[in-house]
Structure 1
Amino acid sequence: MDEWGCTVQRLFSYGTLRLPSVQIEHFGRLLVGTEDRLPGYRVFPLRITDSAVIAASGADVHPILRASPEASDVVEGTVFELSDKELAAADRYEVGDYVRVLVRLESGLPAWVYAEAAAPGDTAGPGSGRDTGVTGSEKRVERIVVVGDSIA
């Protein structure tokens, strides 16, 4: 909770959600974040075909996060604190190739991140049951469904 009693969600961004144009369009404000790193993942290029996403980011190739077999691999990025409504807006922005998962960052903070959605039968992506470093009452989300301003 923040100082106004609202739920705060941490989102780790390694790509276009760090762009001011994307933040203004989808959150209505510029986000303030803290640099952090995500161990055990790599970033790969992904061709985007959604015209609204391309217009917001100015690019048709975006980075996509994929679990790495190399524990030494690390992805640099920024942790933002978002409201539930802003997190839902981020879900609407990301195309179907991404899935939101909860991970533990190098700093020790748990945070949401958009990673490659594993295809059925795929054993390499976030849906493979790979250890994300999140334990206890923290939950891992395989698929996020957005209905209006609600997450189901």
Structure 2
Amino acid sequence: MTQYIYIASPMRLPVGSFGERPVSPEQPNVFRDELDFTHLYFENNYDSDSKQRYTYSSHFSYKHQVAADANQIPLRSDMKGTAKEKKCLGILYSYLEEAIQHSGMIEYFTSWNSEEDLALSKKRHVRWIDIKDPYDLVLDDREFLRITLWDINAYGITDSQE
């Protein structure tokens, strides 16, 4: 099975490949090495055939969602500190930072393929300011983060209202 990361937002999220560094624009499929090829590809939850959105997980609150194969993003128990891992976590950090600046709130979740609707192992709320390093984004399987620019408790929002 494949581990995936999922992101949901009240605003549209960018899709496509992030992090690839080809040799040149004229040779977009040629890379100096494997690290330059290492990237994350975000796909949205829109089926162009049926022209409808679907949800990656019943745990999400927002309709705009993306998913990416997380083969280079470790689970908390599998961190190795490899160059590919660091690069992909850096890409994810930049992607989430842009999304949170745009929408003010996102949901971030990881699970094995076909286990997206199973019970969560952990659910947490964090403020983006508290995520200091890309490794702060490493989760356990089926861990769910709600990330905001502000402290939602200051606005009287409780977990039951989330």
TM score, norm. by length of structure 1: 0.35
Instruction: Give 1 or 2: higher strand fraction.
Output: 1
In terms of fraction of residues, the more helix-rich structure is 2
